[in-house]
Amino acid sequence: MREYLFVIVVAAAVTLLLIGPVGAMASRWGAVPPTRERDVHRFPIPRLGGLSMLAGLLAALAAASALPRLGRVFELSTDARGVLLGAVVICLVGVADDVWNLDVLTKLAGQVVAAGVMVLSGVQLYWIPLPGGPLVLTPELAVGLTVLTVLVTVNAVNFVDGLDGLAAGVVGIGALAFFTYSYLLAVVENLSRMTLPALISAALAGMCLGFLPANAHPARIFMGDSGSMLIGLLLAGSAISLTGQLDPELLPQGSVLPALLPLLLPIAVIAVPFLDLLAAVWRRTRAGRSPFTPDKQHLHHRLLDLGHSHRRAVSIMWIWAGLVAFGLVVVSLVGGTVPLVAVGLGVVGVVLLTLGRPAGLFGRSGSPSS
């Protein structure tokens, strides 16, 4: 556990320390777009924050490779190299979009290339858990489902990046939940606790943690597509790599949920923004517009319309992400009725929080009260 904590600290520290230089670089490169009508910030803010997050990832993986126990992760397979190469490719595609505003098809092609790099390095789905037993995928189906998983996760995370600190907080919470699941599963099943999925999740959590001080409202820098697509790929990559390294027969028996969790958890974390994505596509196509046409009717905009402040809206989304992610982990690994009841009560509480305006919890200004 100490080596994982060290990885988190390294990723967070390097990400935070490089935010200033990256912001200056964004200004020189012209990656400071003017504000739009649908934006919630008033003044232009530099993008390219994904470069500092990529540096945090590189530093974390370099540090892990030099550690006595985590270093063995890099010796056992090429998966770490595959995830890293995919991360570099998709971050560079995001940088190009942050600077030059790529068209949708070009950006999608870059995402496919990044996912393909991971697949070629062996990071892909090999089986899917089903109630009757695991379904072993054919090579063609494995490649297609892997690329699809990456594309859905990347674009859903990109979609939720609409308020200061929202995407970094939601994905960071999801990464911590997935790290918890990966680590505890290894403990329960008496497997090696030094695994790539746990390592990637720890690095991802550290990157998000280091980025939040400069990205929380009022933001000094945005992660841009270089960051949102990067953390989306890492979230998907950690789940995909777990299915490649884990024998499905070793998963807890008696329920299909523990076996499904590696694939279900990243999707569950982004379930709310993903539903928002589907609603936006439906809304725009019904109006005769392109599904990629931006508007100001996303979930985070609706929370603002309900009267929540910027910080309160982001906090609510973080709480939803934490409830869903950690609720799934507890229900899966612990089982029984008590976790289900606890999660159910949590849902009721968060619904009331979402629809109401609890001034006693957040303060009149919307900032957490001290």
**Residue 21 and residue 63 in contact, taking contact as beta carbons nearer than 8 Å:** no
- In this prediction, residue 357 carries a pLDDT of 57
- Which tokens belong to 160? 């939720």
Say which DSSP state 78 is in.
S
Angle at 284 between CA 279 and CA 290, to 5 degrees: 125
Helices 104-120 and 224-245 sit at what angle, rounded to 10 degrees? 30
State both tokens at 38: 């649908």
Going through 180-245 in order, the beta strands assigned E by DSSP cover: none
Is pLDDT larger for residue 369 or for residue 136? 136
Report how far residue 249's alpha carbon sits from residue 242's, in angstroms, rounded to the nearest whole number. 14
C-beta neighbour count of 343 within 10 angstroms: 17
Q: From residue 102, how far is each of 33, 78, 346 by CA, in Å?
A: 14, 31, 41
Distance CA 201, CA 236 (A): 10
Asked if 179 and 4 count as a contact pair (C-beta separation under 8 A), the reply is: yes
* pLDDT greater than 50 at residue 364: no
Residues 207/231, Cβ–Cβ less than 8 Å: yes
Give the whole-angstrom CA distance, residue 273 versus residue 300: 9
Mean pLDDT of 278-291: 77
- Answer yes or no: is pLDDT of 313 > 90: no
- pLDDT at residue 259, as a whole number: 60
Question: What is the average pLDDT value for the chain, to the nearest integer?
Answer: 84
Residues with Cβ within 8 Å of 16's Cβ and at least 6 positions away in sequence, in order, are 52, 210, 211, 213, 214
Residue range 87-101, pLDDT digits in tens: 999 999 999 999 999
Which of 136-140, 272-276, 318-322 comes out lowest in average pLDDT? Answer: 272-276
Choose between 118 and 30: higher pLDDT: 118
> % helix / strand / coil in the chain, to the nearest 5?
70, 0, 30
Q: Which amino acid is at 138?
A: T
pLDDT of residue 257: 58
pLDDT digits (tens, 9 = 90+) for 219-265: 999 999 999 999 999 999 998 887 766 665 655 554 555 666 666 77
Helices (H) and strands (E) in the chain, counts: 16, 2
* pLDDT tens, position by position, 108-151: 999 999 999 999 998 998 877 666 666 788 989 999 999 999 99
The residue among 256, 171, 242 whose CA lies nearest residue 210 is 171
The span from the CA of 180 to the CA of 163, in Å, is 27
Q: Angle, to 10 degrees, between the axis of helix 257-269 and the axis of helix 224-245?
A: 180
Single-letter amino acid code for the residue at 59: A
Using 50, 70 and 90 to split pLDDT, how confident is the model at 152?
A: confident
Least confident of 43-52, 187-196, 199-208, 228-237: 187-196
Query: Please, are residues 95 and 50 in contact by the beta-carbon 8 Å criterion?
Result: yes
SS3 call for 135: strand
H helices present in 66-195, as ranges = 73-76, 79-100, 104-120, 139-160, 166-188
Residue 183's pLDDT is 87
